[in-house]
Structure 1
C-alpha cells in the first residue's frame, strides 16, 4: 500500500544531521508498516523492537542508565548485527518506555546508527519529549490514507492526479472520464475511509461488510485505549464524548453541544477531556472564530467547536447500514453534511492545515471552514453535500462584510470546476489541492 509518508521518511534520511525521527499518529494508521518497509528498502540492517509486545526488551531498556548502556542493551537484545552506517534502529510503541527517549539524543549525536521512534498516544504520554533541545528530533504525524492514496490502492494511476492538479491550478474542468472515475472513488472513500486495514479489506473483498467489521474493531480499540491510558477520573467522560461525535455531526450546525454530555453544563468542566481525544489523534477539532481575520488562532473561541472523527470511514460505520444507502450515487438516505465536513477536515489536516476553524455569527450565518495558509491568507470554504450548492448566503455576506479578511472562497460540492463571480466551485475530490505542506 503506497504511502506518502515513505517519502517524508526518505527526506529525513537524506537531510538529517544528528536527528532521530519521531513518527506520531493514532493507532492503526500504518506507522509500523511503512517504517518497516522503509527499513528493508533503505538499509542493510534493521533492528526493531515493539515495546508493547516484547516484554523482555522493554524491561531491559527501562533499566538503562546512560546512552551507552542503552545501546549495549539494544545490541544484546537484537538478533540482527548493528553495523555502523548501515543500520536502522526502530523503537516502536515508545510510549511504553518513555524514560529511554532522552538517551536517544546521545546516541543520535554519535551518528553511528539511524534511529526512528514511533508510537500512539504520544501527544498524551510523551509531552516532555517535545521540551528536549531543538534539533534532536525531526517529527511528523501520520494520518489515515488520504483520498489520493486511497485511489492508488484501488488501482488508479498516479498521473490521474497530475491532471487534477493542473485543472485546479488553471481552474479548468477536469476531463469527464477522470472526473467520473474520481467521483465514484470518492463516494467509496466515504464508506471505506483511510484506515489501512479497512482499505485492505475493501480491495481484497470488494464488499462492505468486512470493511465495517474492521472499522468497528478499530473504534472498540480506541475506546480500549481510553480505558487504559486516560486519567482514571476522566475515562467515562472521554469515552462518552467519543461516542457522541457521530450524533453531534448529524445536528443542523454540526456544533458539539457540551450539554449532551451527562452532568456537564460548561466547557470548562471537560476541556481536558476534549484535549485528551485530540492529543491522542482520534478526534479533529474545528474552533469557531469571532471574525475571519488572520491570525485565526487569536480570534478563535475554544469553547465553541465542531468535533470530527480522525477517519471518515470510522464515522460512517458508526451509523446504521441502511442510513447510508444511496451514498454511492451521491444521494444518501441520511443528511450527509456532517460526513462531507468530516472528510474535508480529515483531508485538510493531512495536508498541513493542523488548525481548523469555522465561523458562526449572528447576521452572517455559518461558514463551514476557515483555514489559514503559511503566507497568512484566509480561505473560506463551504462543503456542500446536496444539489443546491450554489446557494451560500453566509459566504456571500461574509465576503462583503467590511473588515473581514477573506482572501479566497471555495465551494466543494458534487460538481466539476467552474468559477462564478468571486467564488470558485470545486469537486469534492479536490479537497487535497489545498495543501499547506
Structure 2
C-alpha cells in the first residue's frame, strides 16, 4: 500500500511524495521506504497561473538514466505567448495511477480555478484518470479536450492518406459550423468510413467550431508541452533531485528575464502585449476591405460585408456582429477573445474603442503580474532542518539493464508514419530489389575458359 506525504519545503515548494514499504524477506523495514511517485510545483507558478490563460496542456516524456520512469508536465501560456511550466511529476509510467496522482495534485494545489480547459492526447490512462477524479475534473469545474495533432496522427495510422489527414486538421481548426460542415463534407465525399471514425470522438472534444465559449483560446495542440520536453532533454538523464533543482533555477531565471522585459514595455507606454498588437495590426489591414452595411448603436449589433470572400471554403461574405455578447459570425472574436477584422471595422465605423473588447489576459499589466512573484533563494544546506524521517530507497525493479547494446532513445509512434514509403534502390543502377553490393550490373573481373 502506498503512503502519500504532502509537505512544503523551506522555499515554499509544493511537494507530494508517495512511497511504499520496503520488505526484506518477509519482514518490513521500519526505517526505510521505497520511492514511488513525486509531484512538485513552485509558489511563483501557482500565483502566475492566476493571470495566464485558463488553459493547461498536459503531456509526458520518458526519463533516462539508471532508473526508468516518466516525467509528467503541465504547461500554460501568458497573454504574450510565453510558455510557462506550472507542475511536474515523476511517476512509474503512463498508468491510471500515475496520471490520477498528477492531476489530483495539479488540480488541488496549482489550478483550483473553475472552468479550466485541459488539453491532452487521447491516451486511455489520461481519459480514465479524468473519469476517476469525478466532479472536480468534469464540467463545469473543468473541461478535458483533445489535441488535434494526435487525432490526425491516429487518423493517419488508420487510413494512411495524407490528403484526408490534412482535411481532418482543417475540420478541427474550423472556427464556425459552416466551415466545419464544408471540410466534413469533403472528407465524407472521399471516404465515409473516415467520417464514421471521426464521429466516434465527441466533436466538442476536438473541433474548435464546437468550443462555444472559447475555452481553448485558440490552442488546438499540446505543442507547448512538446517545446518544454525538448528544453528538458539534457536534464532527463539526471537524478530526481537534480531535475527538481534544474526546473527551479530555470524557472527562476525565466521569471526575472520576462519580468524585466514586461516592465520595460509598460514604462514605454504600451498597454497590450506585443503578440496582441501584431494580431490587431494584421486585422486592421484586412478591415479596410470591409463595409458596414447596417448597425444598431444601442444594441451594438452590426452587419458587415467583406469585399473579398475569406478563405477555407466559406462562400458567404456577410457577417453579423454583436458586441454585447462578444460575437462575430467568423468565430475568431469569441475564440481568441480579442477583436477580429470585422469587429475592428464595426468599431471604426461608429468611433468605438476596440480596446474594451480585449480580454484582460492580453494586457501588459496582467502579463507583468504573471512574473511579479519572485523565487525565494535557496539557503546553505548546512542550515537546513535535520531530517528525521525514514530513509528513502530506489525501486530496484525500475532499474535499467546494464548489459547489452544500448537502445536508441528515439521513441517512434504513429506520428512517424510516412505515406507511400518507396523501396530501397541500388546506389549504382537505381533499380529496386537489391543493393549495390549484389548489383547484377556491377563490373567484375572476366575469366577465360
Q: Write 1 or 2 for the structure with the bigger share of helix.
A: 1
Query: Structure 2-normalised TM-score?
Result: 0.28
Q: Compare CA radii of gyration and give the structure with the larger one.
A: 2
So what's the TM-score if we normalise by structure 1? Answer: 0.29
Larger RCO of the pair (alpha carbons < 8 Å, separation 6+): 2
